Structure 1
Amino acid sequence: MQDSSSSLDMLRETFKIVVVGHVDHGKSTLIGRLLYDTDSLPTGKFEELKAICDRRGMALEWSFVLDAFQAERDQAVTIDTTQIWFKTPKRDVVIIDAPGHREFLKNMVSGAASADAALLVVDAEEGVREQTRRHGYLLHLLGVKQVAVVINKMDLVDHSEDRYGEIVRDVTAYLHGIGVEPSFIVPISAREGDNIAKKSTSTPWYKGPTILEALDRFHSVTVPSEQALRMPVQDVYHFDQRRILVGRIEAGVLRPGDEILFSPSNKTARVKSLDIWDAPPLMEAHAGQSIGLTLEEQLFVERGEMISHVEDPPVLSTVFRARLFWLGHKPLEVGKRYTLKLATKTANVTVVGIDTLIDTDSLAHRPGTKLERNMIGEVVLRAREVLAFDEHVSLDKTGRFVLLEDYDLVGGGLISMEGYPDQRQSLTVRSTNVYSVEHTITRENRVVRNGHKGGVLWFTGLSGAGKSTLAMEVEKHLFQKGHQVYVLDGDNVRAGLNANLGFSPEERTENIRRVGEVAALFADAGFICITAFISPYQADRDRARGAANRIDSDAFHEIHVSADLNTCERRDPKGLYKKARAGEILDFTGVSAPYEAPATPELVVDTDAKDLASCVEQVVDYIDRTFRVE
C-alpha cells in the first residue's frame, strides 16, 4: 500500500519560475541562496563552492552555484538559461535563471516563454534601470502575468524602509503602465539570506511574505475548466494498431465522448479515450497535462493542428497584428520573411506592416520603418497558410509566438486581431449535395459574340481614392464601344444583396466574399465586371481572385486605385472621414481600421498624380490589351 507522503508527492504540481533583472542585481545569488536554504544543493556542492571561494580568497559567492562554465566565473556574466528543481512546502519548482546581460536577451525569451510566474530582481542601491524596464516589458510581452518584484541588496542601504518605498513607487508605476500588477514586492538580501526562507529581523517594518512563501502564494498553473479547450497536436503515434494523438492541454478540460474540432483543417471527431503512459485511461484531462487521445473514427491529422471543442474554436486567419520584441542582429523590415513557431505549428510569415515603435522606458509610441535589436514594435504579419490561434487577451498560451531566422530565435510577441476578421466563417463550406450545372452556351461562344473575354476588374483603394467615379466612367466608355460591362459598387450592393451586413471585420469579409462570387458569375456570363470596393484585406481579395479564377485562370485583375490618406481625407466626398475622426464611425478604414494595399496588383492607377480622363484612358487601354479578342 502506498504511504500518505508518497500520495501527496504525486499530487504536487510543478511550477515554473523565471528569474530576471538587470545584470549584477543579484539573480544568480538569489537562486543559489534559495537552493541552500531549501536543502536542494547536490551532496558536496556547498563544500565545493566554499573551497572555490577560499582558493580565490573571496567571500562565499552563491552565484557560483549556477555557473556552468569557468568562463562565466571569469566574466561574472551568466550567458545561458539554467533550470534547477527544488521544493517548497506546496510545490515542485523549476526555477529558470534567465540572463540579465543585454546581449543574451534571446535566452531570456526562451526561458520566460514557458514560465508560469516571474521574479523581477532590482538592486536596492541602483534602483530601476533600463534593463529592468526592458525585462518587465518582455515578461508582459511573453504573457507572464504573475510577477513578484524582489528588491535585493537591502543590506547595502541599511535595510532602509524609505529606500524600499522609493523603489516600490518606481517599479509599480512602470509595471502599471504596461498592465502588470505585481503580486508581491519583497525586500531581501540574497547574500545574507534575509527574507528568503525566513523572516529577517533587519526589516521589522516589512509584513509581507518571504520569497518561499511568495512562491507558494502564486496562483495554480492549472487553467480554470471554464476556459475554452486548446490542445496543440505535438505528434501522432502508431501503437497497437491505434493512432494516438499526443500533446499538452494548454487550456480547458477534455473528456472521452467530447466532440472536438481540428483547426485549421476543420475536421471533427469524437474522443474515444484519453491515455497516459503505463496507467489506466483517464476520465478527464485538464490544462497542464500531457496526454494521448484516440478517436472513434480514423482521421488524418498532422502536428500543428489545434484541438478545441466544436462550439468554441480558435481564430483562423492568414494575417494578424503582433506586439513584438525584436532580438535579431538584422532589423525587422516590411517585406522580410521569417519562420513563425506558434504552439506546435511552424509556418512562414512575411512582415506586411510596422505600425508603431514602443519606447520601453517612457512607453511612448512613435512611427518607424524598421525594428532594431532590443526594440519593441506593433507589426502586421501574414502567413502563406491559414493559422489557428487565439488573441492573447483571450487565451495567452495560444496567443503568443516566436520568430526564427536561419534557425536562430529573433523575436517573440503577442497576437491581436484588432481590425482584422476571423476567417473561419469564410473558409467553412456548409453546402452539401451541390452539383455544378454545365451551360450549353460555352465560354468560347460568348467570347465570339462579345468580341472580348469575360473577367473581373477589382478596384480597391481607400475611401475617397476615386474608385466609384473611375469605375462608372470606364463602364460608360466600354459600353459605348459595345462591350458587355457592369459595375458592382459598394453602396449599391450594400443597399440590396448585402443589406444585412454591417462593418465589423467579419462582416466586411462576408461582404467581399459575396461580391467576389457574384463578380465571378458575371465573368462567366461573358461580362467585364468592374467592382469598386475598399476591400481592405488582402486575404479577401485573394479569395475573390480564387472565385474568378475558377471560371478562367486569367479572369481576375486587381487594380489599385491609389491616393494617399491625406488626399482622400481632403476630398472626403461623403463626409465619412470627418465622422470617423469625431468617433461617430467605428472601424473606419485608414483611420481606425487597417487597409492592406495590394502587394502585386495587375495595375496601379494613381488618382493623386493624374486627372480623371487620364486615369480612364489608362484603364481602358489595359482592358483593350487584356480582354479584346480579334
Structure 2
Amino acid sequence: MAASATTPVRAPSSRGQDFPIVIVGHVDHGKSTLIGRLLNDTDSLPNGKVEELRASSVRRGVEFEWSFVMDALQVERDQGITVDTTRIWFKTPKRSYVIIDAPGHKEFLKNMVTGAASARAAVLVVDVARGVSEQTRRHAYLLNLLGVSQVAVAMNKMDLVDYDQARYDLVKAELEAYLASIGLTAAAVVPVSAQKGDNLAGRSAATPWYKGPTVVEALDAFKAPASAKDLPLRLPVQDVFKFDERRVVVGRVEAGTITLGDELVFTPGGRRARVASFETWAGPGTPRIVPRQAEAGEPIAITLDQDIFVERGQVAALDGTTPSEAKRLRVRVFWLGREPLKVGVRLKLKVATGEYHVTVARVLSVIDVHTVSEDKLADVVEVGGIGDVILESRSPVAFDTEAGLRSTRRGVLVQDYRQVGGVLIQGADEVEKETAEKTSVLVAPTHSVTRREREVVNGHKAGVLWLTGLSGSGKSTLAMTLQRRLFEAGKQVTVLDGDALRTGLSKDLDFSPEGRRENIRRSAEAAKLLAESGHIVIVSLISPLAADRDMARQTIGEGFAEVYVSATLDVCEGRDVKGLYARARAGEIPAFTGVSAPYEAPETPDLTVDTGTESPDQSLDRLLTLVSDRYLV
C-alpha cells in the first residue's frame, strides 16, 4: 500500500494530458469503494492518507470504508451516499486519468449529466448480487445519449457470491444484451471485489476462470479521442470588451485552430471579419509575447478587421465549416425537472456560451429504457425519462450534429435557475417549420415576428372568444372574471368590451344599423390584430344580428369561438343596474336591443352559458373548459 507523497488526490496533472472517465452505477453498487481502492492500488494516494481516514473512522465510531477516500462532503459520509460529482486524478504506467465520480441515486441524476458530458469513456459498476437495476439501465442509456461509447463494466461484490462464475455469467449476459439493444458494447466485463481489491490493478487468484483484463488494463485499452485541434474551428464567444477604440472578442477555442488573418464567420447571423490581432495582457516587467495562432483548449482574445456586431453566444468558424442554425430543433432530452415535460413548457437552453429562450413545441416520442422502445403516442416526458422533442427558440440557435463537436452538439435545459435536463441536438426541424409557415393563413408576410412564434413563446394558442347576448346577460362580468383567471395563469389575454369600444375606437359611430355593423367590423379587426400578436381576446358585444357575427367570424378566421351568454329578457331587466331597460321602455333610448330592436340568438354557437339558471362559477368553469380545449392544448 505504498503511496506517492507528491501526488494529490484532487490536483490535475499538466494541462491536456488527462484522460477523462466517468464512474457510474446504481446507489450502493460500490462506485465510491471501487474508486478509493483503485487509487490506493495504483499508488495514487498521498502517504498516510489511508491511515488518516482509518483514524477518522475510529473517532467517528464507524467502520472504515474505501469510499471515504473521495466522499469529501460530511453530509455524504453521514448519509452514506454520494450527492455530487467529484473529480479525482490518478495515473497508470500508460497515462494519467481524471475520474468523474457520478452519483447513482435517481434524485441526483442531474449531476451525472454534468459529469458524463465531459467524459471520453465510462466504467459502469454493477452489483453482481443484485443484478441489473433500473438505474443501471438509465445510466447506460444516458451514456449512449451523451455519446460516451467506450464502456467497461466492473461486476462488483463478487466476494458476496463466493466468486461464482455462473452468477457472473448470468448477470453479464443480461447486461450485454441490454447494452447491445441501445447500441453499446462493453469493452470488458471484469469480475471484481472493490472492497478486497480483486481484479482492479492486479489479477485475482479468486477468479481463475476469468481470462480478461483487469479494470486498469481495460482503462488503458481505451482509445484516446481524436485531437480536438484537427476538428473544424469552433470558437464560442464568451464576451466582447471595448478598450480605447478596439472591440476585443474573447472566448475559448473548443475545436480546431485559429490563425492570424483567418476569415471568421459568426453563427447565427453569418457576419464575416478577419482576425486582425491576438491580444495579451502581461504584468509589469513581463515580456509581451503575442501569438499568431491558437488551438483547441486555449482561451483567446482577438480583434477583427471590421467593426461588425458580435455578441456572446455566437460561434466563430471558418467558411465552409460553419455550424447550422435554426429556431426549431429536434433534440433527445434526459428530463430531470420537478414536473413532467410537456408541450408549452418554457425553458432556457444553453449550448456552449449561447443561452436561448425555448418552448416545447412537440413531444415526438418517449423512450422506455427497459425495452428500448419508442412510444410515439406519449405527450409528456416523465421525470427521469428520455424523449425526443421539438424545441422552438425565439432566436436562431447555433449547433452541430457531428459527434466530435461536443460543445455545440450538447446542451443543458434550465428552469427557474435549475438545471433540469441534458439534450443531444439531432438536427433542425426545418420541414415542419416551413410547412407551418406556408399553411398559416394569418401570418402577414411583412411581420418580423409571426403569430406562431408568439404562440410558442406564450405557451398557448391565440384566438377570439366572441361573447354575445342581451344587455344584462352577464357578458362583461364573465369576460372580466375570465380575463383575471387566465392572466393569473400566465396567459396573454385581453378584453374588448362594448362600452369601452364605444367610448374610444367607435365613439364617432351612432346606434343605427349601419353604425352597429361598423362597430362590429372595427371590433373584429382589432380582435384579429391582437390574436395575431398571440393574445387570447375576449370580445364582449351584444352584436344582435347573426349576419354581423358571421362577418366577425370570417374576419378573424382561425381561433374564433362564438359564446352565447343566454338569459331571459325578464332576468336581464331585473339586473338593469344601468337603468337602460327602464329608459328604453320610456322611449329615451331608441332601437334598444330586446325592447325596440331585435336580437337574433345564435343557432349553433360554440358554447352556450345560461346565466339565468347557472351560478357565476358554473358559467365561468364552462368558459374555462372551452378555453382549455381550444387554446391551451
Q: Shorter-chain TM-score: which interval?
A: 0.5 to 0.7
Q: Tell me which of 210, 218, 221 is aligned to 1:217.
A: 221
Aligned residue in 1 for 2:408: 398
Label 1:200 to 1:271 Cα distance change in 2 as closer, same or farther (>3 A).
Answer: farther
State the one-letter code of the partner of 2:424. L
Aligned residue in 2 for 1:118: 122
CA contact (8 A) 1:143 1:400 kept: no
Label 1:337 to 1:559 Cα distance change in 2 as closer, same or farther (>3 A).
Answer: closer
Please state how far the C-alpha of 1:72 moved relative to its aligned partner: 2.3
Is 2:396 aligned against 1:386? yes
Please state how far the C-alpha of 1:273 moved relative to its aligned partner: 5.0
Q: Tell me which of 362, 366, 376 is aligned to 1:353.
A: 362
Label 1:361 to 1:260 Cα distance change in 2 as closer, same or farther (>3 A).
Answer: same
Label 1:621 to 1:77 Cα distance change in 2 as closer, same or farther (>3 A).
Answer: closer
CA contact (8 A) 1:222 1:286 kept: no
Please state how far the C-alpha of 1:58 moved relative to its aligned partner: 6.0
Label 1:201 to 1:246 Cα distance change in 2 as closer, same or farther (>3 A).
Answer: farther
Is 2:269 aligned against 1:265? yes
Residue-by-residue CA offset, 1:62-108 (whole Å, 9 max, x unaligned)? 01112223332232111122222223334332212111111111121
Aligned residue in 2 for 1:152: 156
Label 1:394 to 1:61 Cα distance change in 2 as closer, same or farther (>3 A).
Answer: closer
Q: Secondary structure at the match of 1:167?
A: helix
Please state how far the C-alpha of 1:24 moved relative to its aligned partner: 0.5
State the one-letter code of the partner of 1:220. A
Q: Tell me which of 415, 422, 425 is aligned to 2:425.
A: 415
State the one-letter code of the partner of 2:191. P
CA contact (8 A) 2:263 2:318 kept: yes
Q: Secondary structure at the match of 2:407?
A: coil
What's the TM-score, normalizing by structure 2? 0.64
CA contact (8 A) 1:255 1:274 kept: no
Q: Using the TM superposition, name which of 339-348 and 365-374 deviates more.
A: 365-374
Q: Using the TM superposition, name which of 114-123 and 198-207 deviates more.
A: 198-207
Label 1:45 to 1:312 Cα distance change in 2 as closer, same or farther (>3 A).
Answer: same
Aligned residue in 1 for 2:347: 338
State the one-letter code of the partner of 1:287. A
Distance 1:328 1:316 in 2: 27
Give the 5 Å matches for 1:39-54. Answer: 39-54=43-58
Distance 1:131 1:121 in 2: 11
Q: Tell me which of 11, 22, 25 is aligned to 1:21.
A: 25
Distance 1:162 1:548 in 2: 64
Q: Tell me which of 364, 379, 382 is aligned to 1:369.
A: 379
Distance 1:357 1:599 in 2: 32
CA contact (8 A) 2:124 2:154 kept: yes
Residue-by-residue CA offset, 1:226-269 (whole Å, 9 max, x unaligned)? 53222212234567986543333333333333222111132212
Label 1:65 to 1:275 Cα distance change in 2 as closer, same or farther (>3 A).
Answer: farther
CA contact (8 A) 2:91 2:97 kept: yes
Aligned residues: 456
State the one-letter code of the partner of 2:133. R
Aligned residue in 1 for 2:310: 301
Distance 2:226 2:68 in 1: 34
CA contact (8 A) 1:234 1:246 kept: yes
CA contact (8 A) 2:228 2:254 kept: no
Distance 1:12 1:210 in 2: 26
Residue-by-residue CA offset, 1:344-396 (whole Å, 9 max, x unaligned)? 11121111111222211112222223222111121111111111111265744
Q: Tell me which of 152, 172, 175 is aligned to 2:176.
A: 172
What's the TM-score, normalizing by structure 1? 0.64
Q: Secondary structure at the match of 1:417?
A: strand
Aligned residue in 2 for 1:437: none
Give the 5 Å matches for 1:195-344. Answer: 195-223=199-227, 227-236=231-240, 243-273=247-277, 280-282=289-291, 284-344=293-353
Identity level (%): 49
Q: Tell me which of 37, 47, 67 is aligned to 1:33.
A: 37
CA contact (8 A) 2:333 2:389 kept: yes
Gaps of 5+ in 1: 1-8, 422-504, 514-532, 550-557, 561-597, 604-614, 624-630
State the one-letter code of the partner of 1:176. A
Q: Secondary structure at the match of 2:172?
A: helix
Label 1:204 to 1:290 Cα distance change in 2 as closer, same or farther (>3 A).
Answer: farther
Give the 5 Å matches for 1:595-614. Answer: 600=534
CA contact (8 A) 2:230 2:255 kept: no
Label 1:93 to 1:290 Cα distance change in 2 as closer, same or farther (>3 A).
Answer: farther
Residue-by-residue CA offset, 1:417-448 (whole Å, 9 max, x unaligned)? 26x23xxxxxxxxxxxxxxxxxxxxxxxxxxx
Distance 2:112 2:125 in 1: 14
Label 1:315 to 1:535 Cα distance change in 2 as closer, same or farther (>3 A).
Answer: farther
Aligned residue in 1 for 2:495: none
Distance 1:11 1:414 in 2: 27
State the one-letter code of the partner of 2:386. I
Residue-by-residue CA offset, 1:563-602 (whole Å, 9 max, x unaligned)? xxxxxxxxxxxxxxxxxxxxxxxxxxxxxxxxxxx99599
CA contact (8 A) 2:42 2:201 kept: yes
Q: RMSD of the alignment, in Å?
A: 3.8
Label 1:230 to 1:359 Cα distance change in 2 as closer, same or farther (>3 A).
Answer: same
Distance 2:78 2:552 in 1: 70
CA contact (8 A) 1:392 1:416 kept: no
Please state how far the C-alpha of 1:408 moved relative to its aligned partner: 0.8
Label 1:542 to 1:370 Cα distance change in 2 as closer, same or farther (>3 A).
Answer: farther
Distance 1:243 1:86 in 2: 42
Label 1:319 to 1:207 Cα distance change in 2 as closer, same or farther (>3 A).
Answer: same
Residue-by-residue CA offset, 1:310-346 (whole Å, 9 max, x unaligned)? 1111111111111111111122221121111111111
Q: Secondary structure at the match of 2:372?
A: coil
Please state how far the C-alpha of 1:53 moved relative to its aligned partner: 3.6
CA contact (8 A) 1:260 1:270 kept: yes
State the one-letter code of the partner of 2:392. R
Gaps of 5+ in 2: 1-12, 283-287, 452-460, 464-531, 538-548, 558-633
Label 1:548 to 1:229 Cα distance change in 2 as closer, same or farther (>3 A).
Answer: closer
Distance 1:346 1:542 in 2: 29
Q: Secondary structure at the match of 2:250?
A: strand
Label 1:345 to 1:161 Cα distance change in 2 as closer, same or farther (>3 A).
Answer: same
Please state how far the C-alpha of 1:134 moved relative to its aligned partner: 0.7
Distance 1:548 1:32 in 2: 57
Label 1:621 to 1:235 Cα distance change in 2 as closer, same or farther (>3 A).
Answer: closer
Please state how far the C-alpha of 1:196 moved relative to its aligned partner: 1.8
